[in-house]
Amino acid sequence: MLRSVASRLGSAVCSAARTNVQRTCAVTQVRYRHDVEESAEEFDNRYEAFFNRQDVDGWDIRKAMNDLQGLDLVPEPRIIVAALKACRRVNDYALAVRYMEAVQNKCGDKVGEIWPYLRQEIKPTLDELGILTPEEMGYDKPELAVEDVMDM
**What CATH number does residue 85 fall under?**
1.25.40.40
The answer to whether residue 87 sits within a structural domain is yes
Domain with 107, as residue range(s), is 40-137
Residue 69, judged by CB atoms within 10 A of its CB (0-12, 13-18, 19+), counts as middle
pLDDT value of position 144: 72
SS3 93: helix
The answer to whether residue 63 sits within a structural domain is yes
Whether pTM exceeds 0.75:
no
Residue 130, judged by CB atoms within 10 A of its CB (0-12, 13-18, 19+), counts as exposed
65-77 per-position pLDDT tens digit: 999 999 999 999 9
Say whether both 128 and 100 belong to one domain: yes
Say whether both 72 and 122 belong to one domain: yes
Say whether both 22 and 47 belong to one domain: no
Say whether both 2 and 61 belong to one domain: no
Q: Which residues of the chain have pLDDT under 50?
A: 23-31
The answer to whether residue 145 sits within a structural domain is no
Q: Are 69 and 54 in contact (CB under 8 A)?
A: no
CB neighbours of residue 104 within 10 Å:
20
pLDDT value of position 134: 86
Say which residues have a Cβ less than 8 Å from residue 61's Cβ, sequence separation at least 6: 51, 83, 86, 87, 90, 92, 95
